[in-house]
Amino acid sequence: MQSRFRFHCHAGLDCFNRCCRTPTIILSPYDILRLKQCLGIGSEEFLQRYTRQQTEELSNLPLILIDTAVSPAGGCPFLGANGCTVYADRPAACRLFPITMGSRLTENGVEDYYFCRKLDYCQGFATDVEWTVESWQANQGFAEFEAGRREWLEIILEKGQRGRIAMEAQFQDLFATMAYDLDRFRSLMAEPAFLRAYGLDEEALEQVKDRDLALLKFSYRYLESILIAT
């Protein structure tokens, strides 16, 4: 966390926003929550318009990525003429750049590691502005996004460590709904048949009915409990 690097990205650089034209951004459930609120749309509409889904190799669980194919000019669909149009709510991966974060599950819990991604064309490194990983995270407001995604990350890592196993499409759909499509999950929770099928409590619905973050935290806890049985 105390490793040092020099970096300063700004609109005066010739390469400004170039990295946003070829992104591979995995969205956490918290990223999706923030982006759909920023855009003023529901989670289902957000997922359909701006993302694609793929299966994580080790865990066999669904991941959500920004879909660069939906942008006529290519690249991130949130890239405008003057830069990022969702900057205040940009995903965790964007906040960390040019730092890339990896995580692995150890006997002592989740261990994070970082490395600096120096793209050949990036001029942002030709500066005297110096950071540590810790100070960069603080400057970019990373902590809130890390807290919002940490339980999801641990679920993915734990499932991946147990090895890839066959998983019914119905369960993958349930995971995708509970983790990424909060508005649909909230609607499902209101159905008595769903409550009975998955052992949910109507009181839980009342506690999270109008609170997206509370619902997200609830989904993490419930996903963890049902994954133990698979």
For the CA atoms of the chain, what is the radius of gyration?
A: 19
CB 13 within 8 A of CB 123: yes
Q: Please give the model's pTM, rounded to 2 decimal places.
A: 0.91
pLDDT of residue 36: 97
Mean pLDDT of 88-100: 95
Mean pLDDT of 43-52: 96
Return the higher-pLDDT residue of 210 and 199: 210
Mean residue pLDDT across the chain? 87
Q: Which of 55-69, 135-149, 153-167, 189-203 has the highest mean pLDDT?
A: 135-149
Mean pLDDT of 61-65: 94
Whether pLDDT at 164 is above 60: no
CB 91 within 8 A of CB 145: yes
Whether pLDDT at 71 is above 90: no
Residues whose CB is less than 8 angstroms from the CB of residue 114 and which lie 6 or more positions away in sequence, other chains included: 1, 3, 99, 100, 101, 102, 133
Predicted confidence band at 47 (pLDDT cuts at 50, 70, 90)? very high
Mean pLDDT of 195-212: 73
What is the biggest distance separating any 2 CA atoms in the chain, rounded to whole angstroms?
61
52-87 b/e with 16+ CB inside 10 Å = b?
eeeeeeebbbbbbebbbeebeeebbbbbeeeeeebe
Of 130-134, 176-180, 225-229, the one with minimum mean pLDDT is 225-229
Mean pLDDT of 4-25: 90
Whether pLDDT at 48 is above 80: yes
Of 22-31, 41-50, 91-100, 103-112, the one with minimum mean pLDDT is 103-112
Phi, psi (rounded to 5 degrees) for 15: -90, 5
Among 86, 95, 91, residue whose Cα is nearest residue 114: 95
Mean pLDDT of 18-37: 93
pLDDT of residue 21: 87
Token reading at 58: 């080790």
Mean pLDDT of 139-165: 86
